[in-house]
Amino acid sequence: MKLNDDTYYGKEANQAFFSVSQYKDFCKCEAMAMAKIRGEFEQKQTKAMLIGTLVDRWFEGTLDKLREESPNIFYCRNGALRAEFRKADEIIKRVQRDERFMLYMSGEKQKILTFEMFGAPWKMKMDSFVEGICITDLKVVQNFKSLAFWRYDLQGAVYQAGVEACGYGRLPFYLAAAAKEAVTNFDIFQIDQPTLDMALREIESNMPRFKAVKSGEEPPKHCGICDYCKSVKKARIRNYWRDRKMKTLKFHGYSDDTFGEYGVTNQDCDNCSNGKPIQCIVDCGERGRVFVVGQYSNVSMGSGCWLVGMTKVSEYEELPDWNFRYEESDCEYSPALLMDLPEGDFNLEWFIDGKKVER
C-alpha cells in the first residue's frame, strides 16, 4: 500500500501498518489500540494537543488549509484566532526569530516512509528530514521537565531505524521543542544513541505480542482504566461499606522540590530544590506500616521526572497486605503511588534526607 498525505491516517493504513503512536497505544491498552484500528474508538483531542497542531501546521505551510477544514474550532467568526489558542501564535512568532531552531526545522516537511521492522510493516511521517544530516521532530510541551515522560526516545528509535532501512543511512535524531510557559521557552534536544538503541530493543521485545494481537491470533487485554475500557465496561457488584470506609493515599511529586500525599491529607514537604529524597512513614499501628520515598531527577538519571517508591520500614517487619499500585498523576512528570489503607486511624511521619520534619 502506497501512502500519501490523504491516506496516511486512514483506517486502511492503520490496519496495514504499525506506527509509533499505534505502538504506544498497544503499550497503554491493547483493547483500546484494536478499537482505534477498527475505527470504533477515537481519542478526544485536548486543548494542549490542538495548540501543538497549530504550530505543526504552520511549519508544514498548511495553516490556511487548516482554517478551511476547521474554521469553528480554532477561529472566531471574524477570522481571528480564538483566545485559548493564541499561545500557538506566540510560540510561532518566537521560534521563527531563532536561527538555530529554524535551521533544524528547515528540512523536507512531513516526509512519509514505509519499511519492514521486527517482522511487521511500519509507517512514519517526519516533521523535518535533512537527507544525510539529521531527523528532527517538532514538539510543543508544557515544560521541558516532561520530555522524558512522553517517551520520545521510542519515536526517535523508530524514525532512525526507518530512515536507515530506506537507504538513507543512520542519522541523529533531534527534538525541536517549545514549551508553553508564560514566556515561550525553546531548545534543540538530541536523544543520544545508547538511549535510542535501548528503546529499539524494548520495541523488539514487545512486538511478538503486539503482532499476535493485531493479527487476531491472541485476544487483546483490557487495562480497565482507560476511556475505551470505561465505555465498554459492564457493571459489577461492589462492597458498599468497603468502598466507603477505605482511605486511598496518593503520593506524587510536584514541581522539582515538593513531594506529598494528595489523596486524603494533602500533606507535603518542600526540600527547596536541593535534590535530596523526601520520605514518609505511613503508620497504621498494628495493621502495618510502610516507608515511601520520592526523589526528583538526580536519582532517575536527570530525566526531569520524580522517582516514587516504597519499601518496608525495617528488614524485620512484614510488608502489609495492602493494595499498592501506580497510576499517572496530575503532574505529567511524576507517577502516583496509591495505597488502600485498612479501616482505622493512621499517621504520616515526614523526613527530608533522613531528618524528621516537624509539623
The DSSP-derived string for 242-259 is HHHH-EEEEEEEETTTEE
Three-state secondary structure readout of 134-152:
EEEEEEEECCHHHCHHHCH
SS3 344: coil
- Distance CA(239)–CA(141), nearest Å, equals 41
Give per-residue pLDDT as tens, 169-190.
Answer: 999 999 999 998 889 999 999 9
Whether 240 has a pLDDT exceeding 70, the answer reads: no
Mean pLDDT of 210-239: 88
Nearest by Cα to 252 from 213, 292, 223, 193: 292
In sequence order, the β-bridge partners of residue 125 are: 112
Which part of the chain has CATH 3.90.320.10?
Answer: 11-215
Residue 125 identity? K
Give per-residue pLDDT as tens, 118-172.
Answer: 999 999 999 999 999 999 999 998 888 768 768 899 999 999 999 999 999 999 9
Whether 215 has a pLDDT exceeding 90, the answer reads: yes
Give per-residue pLDDT as tens, 283-310.
Answer: 988 788 999 999 997 776 777 899 999 9
- Distance CA(108)–CA(129), nearest Å, equals 5
Instruction: Name the pTM for this structure.
Output: 0.68
pLDDT at 54: 86
Note whether 137 and 155 are within 8 A (CB). yes
Give per-residue pLDDT as tens, 47-85.
Answer: 777 888 888 888 888 877 777 777 667 767 666 777 777
Distances (CA, A) of 227 to 32, 36, 185, 285: 8, 12, 32, 38
pLDDT at 345: 85
Q: Does domain 11-215 have CATH number 3.90.320.10?
A: yes
